[in-house]
Amino acid sequence: MSQRSALRSAIKKFLKKVTEKNAEEATNAYRAAVSSIDKAASKGLHHSNRAARLKQRLNNCLKALSA
pLDDT for residue 13: 96
Residue 56 domain boundaries: 3-66
**How many domains would you assign to the chain?**
1
pLDDT for residue 66: 83
Give the residue from 2, 14, 4, 9 showing the smallest Cα distance to 40. Answer: 4
Task: Give the pLDDT band (50/70/90) at residue 67.
Answer: confident
Q: What is the pTM of this model?
A: 0.90
35 neighbors 13 (Cβ within 8 angstroms):
no
Report DSSP state, residue 46: S
Read off the pLDDT of residues 27-60 as tens digits, 9 standing for 90 and up.
999 999 999 999 999 999 999 999 999 999 999 9
